[in-house]
Amino acid sequence: MKKLLIILLFSLASQAQAAIIPDGSQFGFGGFTWDVFYGNFDDQGNGFIDDANIGTGSLAFQSSNDSSPTVPGLTLAAEMSTLIDTAGILSFSWDYETFDGDPINDPFVAFVEDSFFNFSLIDIVDVDGAASQSSSLLGFDFAIHLSADDLFGLSLDSIDDAFGFAEASISNFSFIADGTGGQPGGQVPEPSIFALFGLGLVGLGLVRRKRLTNN
């Protein structure tokens, strides 16, 4: 029995070792498990994320614009998020256009929550800038270093849910590992701390969720 137990433990250890990601390993969307959230804790809105081209490293977002929020003044999100299991650099190209006046009405943002629940919100577009913006016009892509156990997400938000929507797309998505760990990204644990912010960031399970996969 003892011999069998040792063999089983050795087998499990070997499997765990095989799951470690070496530095320099590169992944696209398919290396992650993404959760998608629409609206806020009270209202789903009509924003959406089109994942038809996820296999090529591309996604398209459209912000909510249904003009009838259940609770006026609450941001509605079209959001995707994933739990990062190994440290690395995540980058992508992006394009953005709003039909709602200024980008401040429909900001395109990234967010990170670390293992100590520290929360950072990062503007991808300049909310005081032009209605049409892109990484190619800026001359550089969005890039961020993430640590193991970080929660990373992207969201195209609607502040007013009226007067026009915004569109954003990302392409050339890449994650290059520079640490050790398991798979690069896993499912977001629920409930998430973001539900407490009331910003349309990762809801309470009261609205539609689906899984993005690399088909």
Is position 5 within any domain?
no
User: In the predicted model, what is the mean pLDDT of residues 73-87?
Assistant: 90
Whole-number pLDDT of residue 73? 64
More confident residue, 60 or 43: 60
Residue 16 lies in a domain: no
> Can you give the CATH number for the domain in which 108 is found?
2.60.120
Q: What is the mean pLDDT of residues 18-34?
A: 69
Q: Using the predicted structure, report yes or no on whether residue 21 has a pLDDT greater than 90.
A: no
Question: How many structural domains does the chain have?
Answer: 1
Q: Are 178 and 15 in contact (CB under 8 A)?
A: no
Distance CA 48, CA 60 (A): 8
- Is 51 domain-assigned? yes
Any domain includes 182? yes
Kindly calculate the radius of gyration of the chain based on its CA atoms and give it in whole angstroms. Answer: 19
The answer as to whether 158 is a domain residue is yes
For 9, residues 6+ apart whose C-beta sits below 8 A from its C-beta are none
Domain range for 119 is 22-212
Residue 52 located in a structural domain: yes
d(CA 72, CA 201): 17
Q: What is the pLDDT of residues 105-151, one digit of tens each?
A: 999 999 999 999 999 999 999 999 999 999 999 999 999 999 999 99
Confidence band for 6, pLDDT divided at 50, 70 and 90 = very low
What is the tens place of the pLDDT at every residue in 146-203?
999 999 999 999 998 889 999 999 999 999 998 655 455 555 444 333 333 334 443 3
Q: Are strands 26-27 and 166-177 parallel, antiparallel or unpaired?
A: antiparallel
